[in-house]
Structure formats: C-alpha cells, structure tokens
Amino acid sequence: VYAIMRNNNYYGTTYCAQLEGLTDYAISRGTQTPVSEYQGLDGTNIARTNLIWTTIYQAINGANIVLKAAATIPMSEADRAAVGGEARFLRALNYYNLVRNYGAVPIRTEPTETLDQLGGKRQPVAEVYKLIVSDLQEAEKGLPATTKEAGRPTSWAAKTLLAEVYLTTERWAEARDKADEVVKSGAYSLVEVKAPDDFDRIFGPAASTNSEEIFALKYAQLAGQGWGYPGYFYAADNPFAPGGVRAHFTRPELPLIKAWDAKDLRKEFILYTTYLNRSGRVSSLPAAEPMSFRKYRDFNAVNNGNDCPILRYPDALLIYAEAASQAAGGPTALALERLNVVHRRAYGYAPGAASPVDFRLDGQTAASFRDLVLTERAYEFMTEVKRWHDLKRLGTDRLKAIIKTAKGKEVATAHLFW
C-alpha cells in the first residue's frame, strides 16, 4: 500500500501537483497551466487525474488484500488488531482523497480477484464518509500508541485524521473532541524555531522524523526512492531538487502572499526569488513568474530525501481551534490559545507562552475567527496539499470569490471535481 501511495502517479508527484495548482497562492505553468485556469483539464491533465483515480484504487485494493489475509494468518490478536488498524487507516485515507476530489465513488471493501468484480456503481458521498469514519474508529482502537518505524500510523494518527474528517463534514463537536484527545495526549509537541532555516528540522531531508510528525510518507536519497514533487518548484539548474521543472510559482501581489507579515519566519523559509544555481552563480526567477516555493529542498541531492507530510501536530491544534469555535458559535479562550500556539512558533516565540503576536478575542465572531484559522492554515500548511480542500469546505460561492479576487479567474462549477 505504501509503495503505491508513494509513486509518482499519486503523492510522489501528480496528486500534489494537481491540487496545489488550484490554490489561491500558487499558479501552474507549462503542461500544468490548465489546472490554474479552472475551466476544465486538457487531455494531458485528464490523463493525470485518471492515473490518480487508478492508483488510489490500487492502494485501496492493497489494503483490502491485507485485511483479508490478516483474518486467517496465525498471529496474536494484538498483532491482528494492529495490522488491521494500519490497513483500515490507509484505506480510509485513500477513500478520503477520493471522495473530496471525485465525489460519489464505487466502494470496495474486498480484494479485486476476478474480472467480474471490475466496474461498479458510484455510491453516495455520505456512504463513502460512513466507511471512512468506521475504518478510522476501528483503526484508533487497533493501532498502537507508538510505532518503532517512522512512517507507520499510530492510534493518534487515526484520531487526527478522524478529527479532520469530522471537520470536513461539519461535525464540529466531534472534530473538537477528537482533536482535543490528540492535543491532551502529550504525544506531540511543536518543533521550536528561532530562524527561518530552523524549519528544515521539520521539512528538511535529514528530518527522518520529529516531535510534531503524526503521519508522513517517507522518501530517501536513493535511486527510485526520492520524492518527485519538490522538483515542481525549481528550475533545472537549481541545487535543491534534481530534474526541476518549475511548474508552480507565485506572485507577490496575490492576497495571501501580499498580506504575509515579513516577521513570520515561515515566509522567508518558504518563498524565494533568487538562488545559487549548480554553477554557483546567482539566478533570478523570470519577471513574469518572480517567486516560488522552497519548503522542501535537498541540496545537490540525486533524489529528494524530504518526506511528504500528511498529518502534523499543527493539524490537531488548528482543527481544534476551528471546530471548537464553530461548535460554540464563536471562539472560546482555548480555541484562541491553540491558534496562538501555532502562530507564536511561526514568529520564533515559545509556543506555550503569551507573545506580542498573539491574536485576541476582542471583537471576534465565529466567522472572523474561522477566517483567522484558515489563513493560519494557509501559511502553516503551504504546499502540504491542504488549501484547495480548505477552500472547498467554505462552499462554492466563497471559493469562487476567493479565486476571482486572487487570480482573476472564474471557477467553473462543473470542474470543482475531477
């Protein structure tokens, strides 16, 4: 299952590329250009989204094979529960990606072993989410609280993903309570930073794991084992990723980029306009495409060893903040504090102590506070494949208005799904 999810037709490159090009902070270029036009995909990009569909179902089939086999292979009941929990977590994650991007989809809970099992009717979105929730509830019971091998899910990973699923489906109180379990567990803490490059302790190739990683797909600086997506941010002569194609860029006038406080250490860490090329000379990005992203960089690597983050501790904190406020009809003191924990760290302050950059409750409504949280999510999770789905959670009208303001593009309703 992991090998399928890590390949270039899925998280390895294509899935991330298609979704990041849809955001209000990134613009696609080259063969990816139609993605950022929001009027439907050309044949090249339809082929890519078709491959995503196929690959996700292959991963689901792998999970189903594991579940069927684990029921009969001799092992302890604890091991059987852990293996089953791992397979259910992965199946849930894959169905979650399907339903958010394709809507109603066929449901498979048994391995595809004969040709007459191919095809199938799309099931309602509510039924897909019912399976996702059920799988994650089983996974949180069966998975261990810790794992000896980085990159495998724990019960806390299942709880965090379940909290996000509840958030997506607007089950606010359940999202709040499940995220609260993760926060109160003490299993995770934010990596503290004092300078922009300190974020490499989270996203750099040497960070095999860290105190805030909940679940990530693992890559390595080995032939055929590197993460391909970072190449989308760099030109071919860059030192950060081999085979750079510079398929994504941004512009300083886009609202999120323009409003980004220069004192936020994430800004300098993530954005760049010039770089030292492989010959040691300073190169500038083109005037028409003057800025790009460098969250994932592996200097002079043959293959990028950066891992692909799926769930981090800031997810739990910000899910709690948004869900608690929505459930209460306005922000609570604890919702505000958990937003501030993430915000402080971004400026180099200790996450657990009050700071000069703290947001305040004065005058906040449920709507204004939610906007604060979603903006914080945009900066914290930039290029982590979350923003487009966050915009979709706001509803079609709001999404269209945000894209129109940011990029001047009309979003065709028919193409909100692949």
**The token pair that represents 204 in the structure block:** 């750099």
Contact between residue 26 and residue 293 where contact means Cβ atoms under 8 Å apart: yes
What is the structure's pLDDT at 249? 97
d(CA 252, CA 55): 35
Question: 416: which residues sit within 8 A by CB, 6+ positions away?
Answer: 392, 396, 399
Q: Looking at the chain, how many residues does it have?
A: 418
Dihedral of CA atoms 356, 358, 362, 363 in degrees, nearest 10, equals 120
Q: List alpha helices for 143-278, DSSP H.
A: 155-168, 172-185, 200-203, 255-258, 265-270
d(CA 402, CA 177): 30
What is the structure's pLDDT at 300? 67
Cβ–Cβ contacts within 10 Å for residue 157, how many? 26
DSSP conformational letter for 295: S
Instruction: Give me the residue label for tokens 């095809």.
Output: 119
pTM above 0.75, yes or no: yes
Cβ–Cβ contacts within 10 Å for residue 116, how many? 7
- Given phi > 0 = left and psi -120 to 50 = alpha, else beta, which region is 45? alpha
Residue 148: CA count within 13 A, CB half-sphere: 1
d(CA 4, CA 217): 11
Can you give the pLDDT of all 418 residues of the chain as single tens digits?
999 999 999 999 999 999 999 999 999 999 999 999 999 999 999 999 999 999 999 999 999 999 999 999 999 999 999 999 999 999 999 999 999 999 999 999 999 999 988 888 999 999 999 999 999 999 999 999 999 899 999 999 999 999 999 999 999 999 999 999 999 999 999 999 999 999 999 999 999 999 999 999 999 998 889 999 999 999 999 989 988 999 999 999 999 999 999 999 999 999 999 999 988 899 999 999 999 999 999 986 788 999 999 999 999 999 999 999 999 999 999 999 999 999 999 999 999 999 999 999 999 999 999 999 999 999 999 999 999 999 999 999 999 999 999 999 999 999 999 9
